[in-house]
Chain A
Amino acid sequence: MKQKGWKELTPGAVILEPGNAVEFKTGSWRAFRPEWKEENCIQCLFCWLYCPDMAINVKDGKRAEFNYDYCKGCGICALECPGKKGQKAIVMVEEGK
């Protein structure tokens, strides 16, 4: 992508296209990746509720896969996940492993 020169900027850094955060993919910052173990999931949706980045998809009222484009790997979902009988449904694994 060609970077803008100073003559092309809006005054005062105002952003005129609403909703453009969609283009700002934060997933590249991640050092750890959450992984979903569906067999341990009780569909409580705590992960969806707690995720600060809306990086957990919900389909038909049920928890679906992660949206890794926006997942920063903070691990909050894994921490909050109650899992089934003490077995977490989300585990953090090092990115690239």
Chain B
Amino acid sequence: MARVVAVTGNEASAEALRQINPDVCAAYPITPQTDLMQRFSGFVSDGKVDTEVILVESEHSAMSACIGASAAGGRVVTATSSQGLALMWEMLFIAAGMRLPVVMPLVNRALSAPLNIHGDHSDSMGARDSGWIQLYSENAQEAYDNTIQAFRIAEHMDIRLPVMVCFDGFIISHSIERVEYLEDTEVKNFVGEYKQLYPLLDIDNPKSYGPLILPDLYMEYKRAQHEVMTKVKDVVLDVASEFKKLSKREYGLFEAYRLDDADIALVILSSAAGTAKDVIDEFRGRGIKAGLLKPRLFRPFPYEEVADTLKKVRAISVMDRADSFGGYGPLFMEISSALLHIKERPLLINKIYGLGGRDFLPGHAEMVLNELMEIVETGKFKTIKEYIGVRE
């Protein structure tokens, strides 16, 4: 029996970690993640979990501790945000390159400068090429569900890669929502026992981690790493279908919302997708065929599936809550790559919104959808990349 509660995203994510009871957790506070690790440390102090918490002096050390503990043979977690993730940067590549299934809730927050503690995706987008699997969550429920599924994906014998579970800072991490918790035993059975592939603590079978690999083999290792990424999609879908049996909640590589016959569509990640769906419903009510695609698995990016879902749409606005200065938004680059091989492809525009926690309002979605309708009518667009909700 599921328990229905009113909790924040951080609370839901900490609860998932309590139910999973990992072996080791490296913790360093950073807003808006602080409250997540604090709640989890509370479970440790109260004896609710027997996790070994390592209080470190920086995020660089947090990820280093995770790498060590994971190589040793433990099921390992940490969590971070923004500059914390940036400080982990070097170690992110090491966790992925060594194929260590560390799980990390990432409470998305803008990067400095200027200093800002609110939510956008510049942190996770900056880490998109580190070799981590990235899942994005629309609300507290998805943050909870994705955290549980992340362990199964990361630890799958064919995968063995670290997973970042992203959810929007403050908007999700600190707002109270309705969440359905699974039973402790259900979660325990779902994630199962963890078995490290090559644990360092198996002293009967000594091994070395982290060798120097020069030009004669480095490229082969990187090629192999890409190959593992190509297997992730299937595992994500398998885990999702098993999770559905347990929770009745459906997950895929992305959510296709009213897209079947859509003429115009938004592509939008995380919490803003919720707001946009309401506006899509309103447009549908007026007989306008609008839809939305909400990516869930961003790395590896499911290019073929996304292209297949979007190919019939006539005009699409890709909404980015992160910027690539001097380039298009990171999500736009993925969507345009996905559609590249389709002859009669939709017209694509890119809107940058919500940086540093700037509100994404229904009016913004409405404005963009109206622009898309105009593009469909005229077959022309003004500019590809534009900022919305910014003062001139």
Could you mark each residue 6-23 of chain A with 1 if its beta carbon is under 8 Å from any beta carbon of chain B, else 0? 110111111110100000
CB distance B198 to A5 under 8 Å? no
Distance to closest chain A CB from B19 (angstroms): 28
Q: Given the complex, which residues of B lie within 8 Å of A9, measured CB to CB?
A: 217, 220-221, 224
Distance to closest chain B CB from A72 (angstroms): 15
Q: Given the complex, which residues of B lie within 8 Å of A11, measured CB to CB?
A: 99, 160, 197-198, 224, 228
Report the Cα distance A6→B227, complex, angstroms: 9
CB distance A3 to B211 under 8 Å? no
Q: Given the complex, which residues of B lie within 8 Å of A10, measured CB to CB?
A: 198
Report the Cα distance A3→B228, complex, angstroms: 21
Q: In this complex, what residue of B is CB-closest to A8?
A: B220
Question: Which residues 1-46 of A have a CB within 8 angstroms of B?
Answer: 3-7, 9-16, 18
Stretch at the interface among B20-28, B201-209, B275-283: B201-209
CB distance A6 to B220 under 8 Å? yes
Question: Which residues 325-339 of B have a CB within 8 angstroms of A?
Answer: none
Size category of the binding interface on chain B: 20 to 34
Report the Cα distance A6→B223, complex, angstroms: 6
CB distance B160 to A12 under 8 Å? yes
Size category of the binding interface on chain A: 10 to 19
Report the Cα distance A51→B209, complex, angstroms: 25
Distance to closest chain B CB from A51 (angstroms): 21
CB distance A14 to B208 under 8 Å? yes
Known: A4-B220, A6-B227. A12 touches B211 (CB 8 A): no
CB distance B160 to A5 under 8 Å? no
Interface membership of B100, Cβ < 8 A: yes
Q: Given the complex, which residues of A lie within 8 Å of B97, measured CB to CB?
A: 12-13
CB distance B216 to A13 under 8 Å? no
Distance to closest chain B CB from A68 (angstroms): 22
Q: Which of B99, B206, B220, B227 contacts A12 (CB 8 A)?
A: B99
CB distance A15 to B99 under 8 Å? no
CB distance B211 to A15 under 8 Å? yes
CB distance A14 to B221 under 8 Å? no
Distance to closest chain B CB from A22 (angstroms): 13
Q: Given the complex, which residues of B lie within 8 Å of A6, measured CB to CB?
A: 219-221, 223-224, 227
Report the Cα distance A14→B213, complex, angstroms: 11
Question: Which residues 168-215 of B have a CB within 8 angstroms of A?
Answer: 197-198, 205-211, 213
Report the Cα distance A7→B209, complex, angstroms: 19
Could you mark each residue 54-93 of chain B with 1 if its beta carbon is under 8 Å from any beta carbon of chain A, else 0? 0000000000000000000000000000000000000000
- Among A5, A9, A10, A13, the most chain B Cβ lie within 10 Å of the Cβ of A13
CB distance A18 to B208 under 8 Å? yes
Report the Cα distance A27→B215, complex, angstroms: 20
Q: Given the complex, which residues of B lie within 8 Å of A13, measured CB to CB?
A: 97-98, 209-211, 213, 221
Q: Can you list 21 contacts pairing A with B, beta carbon distance less than 8 Å?
A: A3-B217, A6-B219, A6-B221, A6-B223, A9-B217, A9-B220, A10-B198, A11-B224, A11-B228, A12-B98, A12-B198, A12-B209, A13-B209, A13-B210, A13-B221, A14-B208, A15-B209, A15-B211, A16-B205, A16-B207, A18-B206
Interface residues, chain A, CB within 8 Å of chain B? 3-7, 9-16, 18
